[in-house]
Amino acid sequence: MTRAWHISLAAALLLAAATASARGDGLTYGIRAKGYLNENGQIVKSVTLVVKDGKITKIGKMSRAPEGAVVLDRSTYYIGPGMIDVLSSVGTMRNTGEDANAMEPAARAADLFNQWHADFQRAARAGITTLLIAPSSTNQIGGVTTIVKTAGADAAHRLLGDGPLKLSLTSRAFNQDRVPTSLQGLLAELRRRIAAARADRKDESAFARWARGETTALVDVDDAADLSILARFAEEETVHCIALHGNYAAERLDEMKSLKQPVVLGTYEFTDPLRYTRAPGILESAGIDFILTSEPPRYAPELLRVGTTIAMKGGASRKAALASVTTSAAKLIGVEKRVGKIAPGMDADFVIYTGDPLRLTSAVHEVFVSGERVYSREAEQDARNGGGE
């Protein structure tokens, strides 16, 4: 018993040492695993992942650990990339709508970032390591989104920077108390503002940059009709738009092709009608990227991984289903150089699963963000059973 205690103490010290490395004291650690999920959705067997200063430095088969590195043995587990959810309002207490004005192009979701909010922990626990926080769809121009890591004590390190501009064509954006009160009124106002932004070359605001075609906006839509309207508007004004909640995209393939952008689908639940759940498979065969969202905290963040399995059951490939919550999602919000896959040089955001990460039978065992362990299922169970002592 004493010996067991020593071993667990040693393990705790190792882990402390390992996690300390995330704060940049130069320590390197490795994780030996049964396999990892590469960006093509394939499992590569028996690998070691090496992390240094919060970054992945190596992944693959290794005969021995790198010099001076401690190695965590997870040889019965699988490593998957940390997931990215491109639409959320975590930690903002839903104060992301401006009721008085329909348009708030200068609003910044970053101002609302509350790194202590418990919903971040819930998202991390579900295997989500990066979140986009968006202004509410009750504003026609919601403002600028922000991209954050779901864990880590240091708020500055958790902010990855501003994301795309957010617009909304949904019925929720219209209100009789403020103009414009109609969709055609909104589109007319957008055209005026786009023309003004193009006339003023010095305007470097997020809206002006989008209006000049330099960036992409996330545009919330309600239905298939909105998708058609959005596609036409984007083509006429030569602006880049990505549809959020484009669950009818499979019924508007021509419009989606003319948008030349991926589409965001969700939230996928176990209750969804077929026209939604078949969309990923149909879009994939049509060559259109799809991205999934679980929209925490409105819906449970666990639904993001559930969504990938619903997509696969509906006909999408493993590769596309994985990309929809990792690489494609990262590219959509412009952070693909930092997160989204397990490869050297990327942030050490990864999840240890009890099995194949793309199967619902596998549970999230541990979650690492920027090389730091932020969730452990065993620790949670110990805590629940009245402490680990």
User: Do residues 162 and 110 make contact, with C-beta atoms less than 8 angstroms apart?
Assistant: yes
Stated as kind and residue range, the H or E segment containing 370 is: none
* Residues touching other proteins, count (CB under 8 A): 34
Q: State the minimum distance, in angstroms, from the CB of residue 133 to other proteins.
A: 15
For residues 28 and 88, which CB has a smaller minimum distance to other proteins in the complex? Answer: 88
Q: Which of residues 36-65 bind other proteins (CB under 8 A)?
A: none
What's the chain's Rg over C-alpha atoms?
Answer: 22
What's the DSSP call for residue 360? T
CA nearest neighbour of 107 among 161, 143, 147 = 143
Q: Which residues pair with 51 in a beta bridge?
A: 29, 56
CB of 271 to other proteins, least distance (A): 3
Residues 365-384 vs other proteins: string with x where CB under 8 A?
----------------x--x
Residue type, 103: M
Q: Quote the least distance from Cβ 288 to other proteins, whole Å.
A: 17
Cα gap 170→102, rounded to integer Å: 12
Which of 9, 17, 360, 379 binds other proteins (CB under 8 A)? It is 360
Binder among 193, 203, 359, 376 for other proteins (CB under 8 A): 359
| x/- letters, 92..131, toward other proteins (CB under 8 A) | ---------------------------x--x---------
Q: How does DSSP classify residue 29?
A: E
Binding mask 319-338 toward other proteins (x if CB under 8 A, else -) reads --x-----------------
Distance of closest approach, residue 279 Cβ to other proteins, in angstroms: 14
Distance CA 31, CA 57 (A): 12
Closer residue to other proteins, CB minimum distance, 42 or 182: 42
Q: What three-state secondary structure class fits 228?
A: helix
x-or-dash string of contact with other proteins, 237-276, rule CB under 8 A: --------------------------------xxxxxx--
Burial class (CB in 10 A: 0-12, 13-18, 19+), 315: middle
d(Cα 116, Cα 125) in Å, to the nearest integer? 15
* Beta-carbon contacts of residue 265 (< 8 Å; ≥ 6 apart): 245, 246, 247, 249, 276, 279, 280, 290, 291, 292, 293, 307, 324
Among residues 53 and 356, whose Cβ is nearest to other proteins?
356
Q: What is the DSSP letter of 23?
A: G
Question: Looking at beta carbons only, is 225 or 363 nearer to other proteins?
Answer: 363
Q: Which is nearer to other proteins, 64 or 384 (CB)?
A: 384
Q: How far is the CB of 360 from other proteins (least distance, A)?
A: 4
In one letter, which amino acid is 238? T
Instruction: Report the site for other proteins in 278-317 (rule: CB under 8 A).
Output: 296-303, 306, 308-310, 312-313
Residue from 63, 176, 184, 361 touching other proteins (CB under 8 A): that is 361
Minimum separation from the CB atom of position 245 to other proteins (A): 17
Q: E strands, 53-202, where?
A: 55-60, 70-81, 83-88, 128-133, 141-149, 159-168
**Residue keyed to tokens 């969202």:** 293
* Least gap, CB of 300 to other proteins (angstroms): 4
Q: Which is nearer to other proteins, 284 or 347 (CB)?
A: 284
Residues of the shown chain interacting with other proteins in the complex, contacts defined by CB under 8 A: 119, 122, 269-274, 296-303, 306, 308-310, 312-313, 318, 321, 354, 356, 358-363, 381, 384
